[in-house]
Structure 1
Amino acid sequence: MNLWPTYRCAGIKVVHIADDWSSATVRLKLGPLNRTIFGTAFGGSLSAMTDPFFTLLALKQLGRGYIVWDKAAEIEFVSPGRGTLTSTMTLPPEEVARIRAATSTGEKFLKWYATSIVDAEGRPVAKVRRQIYVRRKRGSC
Structure 2
Amino acid sequence: MVQKLLSNPGVAKLALNLWPPFWGSGIKIKRLSKDFTHCEVALRFSWWNKNANRSQFGGSMFAMTDPIYPLMLMAILGSRYHIWDKSAHIDFIKPGMGKLYARFHIEERFVREVRMATEAGEKFNPKMVCEVVDEQGEVVARIERTLYIRLKRRFRPAQVEAA
TM-score by length of 2: 0.84
CA contact (8 A) 1:75 1:127 kept: yes
Over 3 Å off, 4+ runs: none
* CA–CA separation in structure 1 for the residues paired with 2:37 and 2:133: 20
Matched, 1:22 2:37: yes
* Structure 1 equivalent of residue 3 of structure 2: none
| RCO higher in structure (CA 8 A, sep ≥6) | 1
* Structure 1 equivalent of residue 134 of structure 2: 119
How many residues are aligned here? 141
Bigger radius of gyration, 1 or 2?
2
Summarize deviations over 1:105-136 as a string: whole Å, max 9, x none: 00110011001000000001000111101001
* Identical pairs, percent: 37
Give the unaligned 5+ runs of structure 1: none
* Structure 1 equivalent of residue 82 of structure 2: 67
CA RMSD of aligned residues (A): 1.0
Matched, 1:37 2:66: no
TM-score by length of 1: 0.97
Q: Secondary structure at the match of 1:37?
A: coil
Q: Which has the higher strand share?
A: 1
* Structure 1 equivalent of residue 118 of structure 2: 103
* CA–CA separation in structure 1 for the residues paired with 2:43 and 2:119: 37
Q: Secondary structure at the match of 1:36?
A: coil
Q: Quote the offset at 1:139 in angstroms.
A: 2.3
